[in-house]
Amino acid sequence: MKILLIGGTGTIGTAVAEKLEEEHEVIIASRTSGDYQVDISSVENIEQMYKDIENIDAVISTQGASHFGNLRNLTPELNDVAINSKLKAQVNLVLIGQHYVNDGGSFTLTSGIMMDDPIRKGSTAAMANGAIASFTKSAAIELERNIRINNVSPSVLEESWDK
């Protein structure tokens, strides 16, 4: 399979890339490094990426930043980080990508455990994760050409344990 991995240089992304490269062609897209540079906060950048990288079987997104801090100090501006980076960017990868990926292709988005099992300081991440999960569930019944969509909700990573 030809797999486009967005955020393939992050903590999860690196591990995912390592595993997938054993059996698949993996194109790592990232803001500043990887095989292809893309700013997925830009709708135009996403569209251009899908035009440049043809014949994609699977899109995996392991990216998305969130502010982490007390609700008391969470401002609309800080909350926008998760909305723009984690929520909109991932949803836009699907909205635009549905017109480009191969028949029977797939999208895999990343949410996170905080939406179901909240922790202090995590409300903005929980918000974005809940949005991704609900969007995924709903988009799954509408995607055409046998395209599939899933979201993965990781808990604490083996790679992040020491932090």
Judged by the rule CB under 8 A, the positions of this chain that interact with a second copy are 43, 70-72, 74-77, 79-80, 83, 87-88, 91-92, 95-96, 98, 114-116, 118-124, 126-135, 137-144
Name the β-bridge partners of 34: 29
Task: Return the structure tokens found at 160.
Answer: 């992040």
Instruction: Pick the closer one to a second copy by CB: 24 or 121.
Output: 121
Task: Return the structure tokens found at 34.
Answer: 């990887």
Q: C-beta of 69: minimal distance to a second copy in Å?
A: 10
Nearest to 49 by CA among 23, 25, 28: 28
* C-alpha to C-alpha distance for 13 and 53, rounded to whole angstroms: 19
Q: C-beta of 113: minimal distance to a second copy in Å?
A: 11
Instruction: Name the strand (E) or helix (H) holding 25.
Output: strand 25-30
Instruction: Pick the closer one to a second copy by CB: 143 or 152.
Output: 143
Instruction: Pick the closer one to a second copy by CB: 103 or 144.
Output: 144
